[in-house]
C-alpha cells in the first residue's frame, strides 16, 4: 500500500529507528513510546490483521519478535515485557498495518498486566461459549 507509513518504513522511504530486519519483517522503535525501548515488529508485506498474514510470514514476524526481545533484554535490562497486537480498530489499532508491540517493563513503571485491557465478563457459562466456538469452527 503506497500511503501506509509502515510500508514506507519497510521500503526505507520513511525514517525510522530500525533495530532488526529480515527479508520479511522489520523492527523499529515506536515514535510515541510507552516505555524505553518500546518496539514495533511488522511484516514487510502489507496486511491489516493477524488473520491476513500467511503462515510463513507470521512465523517470521514472531521469530523477529523473539530476537528483538533478546536484544532489548541485553541492551536495556528490563524486568519483563508485555507483547501484544491491537487487531482491528475496535481493539485500538491506529495504523492499519499489522504490528506487534514489545513493551519493556520496569519495576515501578505504573503499568499493568495485559489482563487490564478489557473487562467484559461472560453472560453465559464458559462451556456454552466453548460449544458455540467449536460449532462455528466445525471442531
Can you give the residue range of the structural domain that contains 43?
A: 5-112
Calculate the average pLDDT of the chain: 95
Amino acid 96: pLDDT? 97
**Residue at 42 is within a domain:** yes
**Residue at 123 is within a domain:** no
Identify which of 44, 49, 40 has the alpha carbon closest to the alpha carbon of residue 68.
40
| 39/34 Cα distance (integer angstroms) | 10
**Residue at 73 is within a domain:** yes
90-119: per-residue pLDDT in tens? 999 999 999 999 999 999 999 999 989 888
- Looking at the predicted structure, is the pLDDT value of residue 137 above 80? yes
Catalytic residues: 99
56-93: per-residue pLDDT in tens? 999 999 999 999 999 999 999 999 999 999 999 999 99
**Residue at 63 is within a domain:** yes
**Residue at 47 is within a domain:** yes
Amino acid 1: pLDDT? 66
Q: Please tell me the total count of domains within the chain.
A: 1
CATH code at position 62? 3.30.428.10
Amino acid at each position: 500500500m503506497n500511503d501506509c507509513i509502515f510500508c514506507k518504513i519497510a521500503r526505507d522511504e520513511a525514517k525510522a529507528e530500525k533495530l532488526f530486519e529480515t527479508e520479511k519483517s522489520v523492527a523499529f522503535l515506536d515514535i510515541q513510546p510507552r516505555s524505553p525501548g518500546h518496539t514495533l515488529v511488522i511484516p514487510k508485506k502489507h496486511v491489516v490483521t493477524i488473520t491476513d498474514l500467511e503462515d510463513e510470514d507470521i512465523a517470521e514476524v514472531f521469530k523477529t519478535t523473539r530476537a528483538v526481545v533478546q536484544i532489548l533484554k541485553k541492551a536495556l535490562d528490563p524486568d519483563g515485557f508485555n507483547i501484544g497486537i491491537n487487531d482491528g480498530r475496535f481493539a485500538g489499532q491506529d495504523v492499519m498495518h499489522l504490528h506487534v508491540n514489545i513493551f519493556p517493563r520496569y519495576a515501578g513503571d505504573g503499568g499493568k498486566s495485559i489482563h487490564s485491557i478489557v473487562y467484559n465478563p461472560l453472560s453465559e457459562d464458559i462451556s456454552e461459549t466453548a460449544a458455540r466456538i467449536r460449532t462455528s469452527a466445525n471442531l
